[in-house]
Chains A and B, each alone.
Chain A
Amino acid sequence: MSDTHGSADIGVTRAESCVIACADAWRDAGEIMASPFGNIPALGARLAKSTFAPDLVLTDGEAALMIGAPPLTARPDELQREAVMPYRSVFDVVWSGRRHIMMMASQIDKDGNQNISAIGDHAHPKVQLVGVRGAPGNSVNHPTSYWVPDHNTRSFVEHVDVVSGVGYARAAAAGAGATRFHDIRRVVSNLGVFDFETPNRTMRLASFHPGVSVDDIVAATGFSLTIDANVSETRLPTPEELQLLRDVLDPKSLRDRDVKS
């Protein structure tokens, strides 16, 4: 591991770096629905809405849009709501494109394909996962990012077993219907941030979290990443962001359960 240079003086944890990396996914997003899956992306979306992306629209996790960015542990009766959003209406939003989701991925590959369906052959799965859910439709209709809390060679693989969310090469092969609104923005893991800003739209290391080395990431990835010579560290939170995160959004530190420092 490299030293923790810049982060040491304010004691930023790994989980906090992950939250910041997720929050930045929604920078300049405007008035769209942010749909985060998992505590760390949920904190990222709330942090973004509290600071640089105030027009973001968040659901209450049930069937309504909620006002503001309440703490993660707020009870349903503490939430203020501004409109209904039942599941049937969520599809109207998905297909309108006014959404940027951050889903989880049991497997993700070099092209940005994601798998949450099954490990092994789909007809005879070694491990049955939750199912493709909305991943096929999300990934070809609106910006999609992924959160992988456990970055290793079993989660970052050469080819996923069942393509649920569609990556760049598969979208291109499927034609204009798939590429028209296809936009895999970033992958955030517990080790770093990744994007597809390469000539052939394969995965690139965008930044490494404080306390992680590029070598750590290479060793934990089951395919060859594009790594620019000038790749830098994931940015640190501002003092205001850190205070919001620690004192307002997540005072019980649920973030540390998902990512250990």
Chain B
Amino acid sequence: MSDKRTTVDDIVGELRSGMTIGIGGWGSRRKPMAVIRALCRSDLTDLTIVAYGGPDVGLLCATGKVAKVVCGFVTLDSIALDPHWRAARQKGQVGVMEVDEGMFFQGLQAAAWRVPFLPTRAGLGSDVLSINPDLKLVRSPYGADSPYLSDPADADVDLVAMPALRLDAAIVHTNRADTAGNGQILGPDAFFDPLFLGAADRRFVTTERVVENGALTDEGPLSSIVIHRMMTDGVAQTPRGAHFTANPPDYGRDEAFQKEYAAAAGDADIWTAFAERYLNVTEAEYHTHVQERSAP
């Protein structure tokens, strides 16, 4: 069996400017932040980021990596709005394909199932259709005379055809993974991480700890191993790699750090100091600086 172990830097080394990249997690929860930090210090640019957006989106916008974001929202959960995202949008620095968060789910699902679209009611009547003028409707081919029509109200009905959100690459962060590329989520919610991997050409898992193939069942129940090795190309161990987002049961959100991150928006000097200390540094130095920060 192939050994899929790699490093965060090698993952970023496989990415190219202009790529469409899916990021797992949700809001400020279990985001692959070690990779986000590596992206911030890379020379990549012009990325399209596809995410249930949190500080991943804010940081990449603040460091000028992003051309466009595909999302239904960007939030820090305990702080409703990410001020870095807000600033990038209000200054017109990034484009957005804003869709309903269920449409987003269906876009990933369509890509993972290799169909061009999936139909949904979500979006009908809303400005999602006017702000994304390339989105199309699809008419149900089942009319009143069809033996397959179960609800008469649905005869010839128009629905939104949510297009497949195909990704050049996807990155998710898990609590554990094994050398073969299986991933384990010990927290309460896998979010849409398996779908991000399913929708992508290059599939990467970062994790708190890599164990031998077969040893994940020592870490948690079989039902928590929701990512299997057919879904992954590379696995990188990076402890506290989701910091400062929540990654239970390994650690919760670092609320104090998140506040500092949010406060760094809107003032060039404060942002420069934040970037010097936390972004223009190695991952090891980052964690040292975070520790120094919280020391009494």
Contacts from A to B (Cβ < 8 Å): 62-64, 84, 86-88, 91, 94-95, 117-118, 122-137, 139-141, 162-166, 170-171, 173-178, 180-182
Contacts and interface: CB of A to CB of B under 8 A. Distances in A.
A88 B124 contact: no
B153 A180 contact: yes
Contacts of B53: 131
B126 interface: yes
A126 B188 contact: no
A259 to B, nearest CB: 18
Given A128-B90, A136-B103, A136-B128, A178 B192 contact: no
Given A137-B120, A139-B125, 20 more contacts: A86-B188, A88-B192, A95-B121, A122-B98, A122-B127, A125-B89, A127-B86, A130-B75, A131-B53, A131-B98, A133-B72, A136-B122, A136-B123, A163-B126, A164-B126, A170-B126, A175-B158, A176-B153, A176-B158, A177-B158
A133 B127 contact: no
A162 B127 contact: yes
B57 to A, nearest CB: 10
8 contacts: A88-B191, A130-B80, A131-B53, A166-B125, A171-B124, A176-B153, A177-B121, A180-B154
B74 A131 contact: yes
A137 B128 CA distance: 10
B26 interface: yes
Interface string B126-165: 1110010000000000000000000001100111000000
A129 to B, nearest CB: 7
A132 B125 contact: no
B71 A131 contact: yes
B224 to A, nearest CB: 12
B124 A140 contact: yes
Given A130-B74, A178-B125, A64 B188 contact: yes
A174 B190 contact: no
Interface residues of B, number: 41
B192 A177 contact: no
Contacts of A125: 89-90
Smallest CB-CB A-B distances: 6 pairs: A137-B122, A131-B73, A174-B125, A63-B188, A136-B126, A166-B125
Nearest to A86: B189
Given A131-B73, A141-B121, A177-B157, A87 B26 contact: yes
Contacts of B100: 132-137
Contacts of A130: 73-75, 80-81
Contacts of A64: 188
A227 B60 CA distance: 50
Interface string B227-255: 00000000000000000000000000000
A172 to B, nearest CB: 8
B107 to A, nearest CB: 13
Contact of A128 (B81, B188, B189): B81
Interface string B187-202: 0111110000000000
B46 interface: no
B124 A166 contact: yes
Interface string B74-101: 1100001100011001101000001111
Contact of A164 (B86, B121, B124, B127): B127
A131 B103 CA distance: 13
Contacts of B220: none
Contacts of A126: 90
B102 interface: yes
A140 to B, nearest CB: 5
B111 to A, nearest CB: 15
Given A125-B89, A132-B72, A132-B100, A170 B190 contact: no
A175 B73 CA distance: 26
Contacts of A164: 126-127
